A and B are shown apart, each in its own frame.
Chain A
Amino acid sequence: MAFELPPLPYEYGTLEPHVDSMTMQIHHTKHHQAYVNNLNAALDKFPELKDLGLVDINKAVGTDKLPTEAATVIRNNGGGHYNHTFFWKVMTNPSNTNGPSGAAKEAIEAAFGSVDEMKTKFNAAAAGRFGSGWAWLGVKSDGSLAITSTPNQDNPLMSGLPDAAAMVPILGLDVWEHAYYLKYQNRRPEYIAAWWNVVNWEQVSANYEAAKAGTVPL
């Protein structure tokens, strides 16, 4: 069973003007597709790993569950496939977004004091990630929320990595330059600020419930 590029839950232009249509199209059909293709190629020699599923493949990064000769390719492309699959779903039509609610909102307030404080910390993590990477809001093993950033296509599921801040992600933001350069060029903070307009808080709440129940949202 090969991995496949999932369709977007919306049109390429739906997130305009905050994330532009051309970026969404290239990001989905070129960048994400390449991660899928490369992951499938890497796993051709190790079919038992394909059966693990994408989440468990990511959890296996940095452990001896992955064969040494494929470890890096799987880290980069298994990470890339999970991260982007997750990412498309935590975004939505800007007219749909209402802000956090329910248990997720309470958890945010408990961990950060307020939603605004959480955003301030998240923005700092996203702007401060040097080079390529991602910023994450996630549920730690003690059930509380935390923010971290990871380099390249790493993510907080990869608890086997040294310096890993192990969490189950409930919200993530791609800060690789390909995610924003066509519209924002070097102005990453402007991209980050605009992105809050398209966050799918219903999905974030669903992700939070899944994480609390001990499963990993995908």
Chain B
Amino acid sequence: MLARGLLAAAREGLSAAPGMTRSICTVKLPDLPYSYGALEPYISGHIMELHHAKHHAAYVANLNKALEQQAEAEAKGDVSKLITLQGAIKFNGGGHINHDIFWTNLIPAKDFEPPSGELKTMIEAQWKSLDSFISTFNAQTAAVQGSGWGWLGYNKGTGRLEITTMPNQDPLSVTGLVPLLGVDVWEHAYYLQYKNVRPDYLKAIWNVVNWKNVADRLAAAKQ
């Protein structure tokens, strides 16, 4: 985290109230917990490399740039500029948040374990079986128009799991649901391998879902 607020304020001849330091947040591209080829044959190494090193990296770079511009605009009191930056922060911030979750939601097939414990109980209570949950999830996610994500989320209010979809890079958290498992259905997530056949990608990805990570997220949400 960079603490530039006080320096900027001093340069501008403004005074900062005591204790009111404004910092710029800088986000970093996380490392993948596995190698690019580790999810083969379900998601190709080529896709994983582009997805991480190009797409996610671009969200990180563009978010950082937007946040820096936001800090400058804020220091100048340029509200109009702050407003024009909102789109870039939403697109790139959402892109970073979503992919940050996504990489942890996946695991090499050799380490795959089906859901167990509380997560399994909740899935079966709401959808009767894991298969039926997956069918429902895939039907909704395949139907996303254009770019977006399918999500399994946790509703703190009702204590229930929910399947939903979000457009573009809108993060699930803005709906109030806690994201547990996301499936990226932007065409960049599957096109090189599956072309237009999004349903084939959606069938394949369940071989590399990290249910332990999903369970950990659920446990954290319930605290």
Residues of A within 8 A of B (CB): 26, 30-31, 34, 76, 130-133, 151-153, 176-178, 181-182, 185-186
B25 at the interface (CB under 8 A from A): no
- Inter-chain contacts of A132 with B (CB < 8 A): 146-147, 187
Q: A131 to B146, Cβ gap below 8 A?
A: yes
Q: A133 to B187, Cβ gap below 8 A?
A: no
CA distance A30 to B91 in the complex (A): 29
- Inter-chain contacts of A76 with B (CB < 8 A): 145
Chain B 101-159 residues near chain A, CB threshold 8 A: 145-148
Which stretch in B3-11, B35-43, B190-198 binds the other chain? B190-198
Interface size on B, residues (CB 8 A): 20
- Inter-chain contacts of A185 with B (CB < 8 A): 50, 54, 188, 192
Contact of B196 among A30, A133, A153 (CB under 8 A): A30
Contact of B146 among A26, A152, A182, A186 (CB under 8 A): A152
Q: B196 to A31, Cβ gap below 8 A?
A: yes
- Inter-chain contacts of B217 with A (CB < 8 A): none
- Inter-chain contacts of B206 with A (CB < 8 A): none
Contact of A181 among B91, B167, B169, B188 (CB under 8 A): B188
Q: B192 to A131, Cβ gap below 8 A?
A: no
CA distance A149 to B168 in the complex (A): 15
Ordered nearest first, which 7 A-B pairs have the shortest CB separation?
A: A132-B146, A177-B187, A131-B147, A152-B146, A131-B168, A30-B196, A186-B54
- Inter-chain contacts of B191 with A (CB < 8 A): 177-178, 181-182
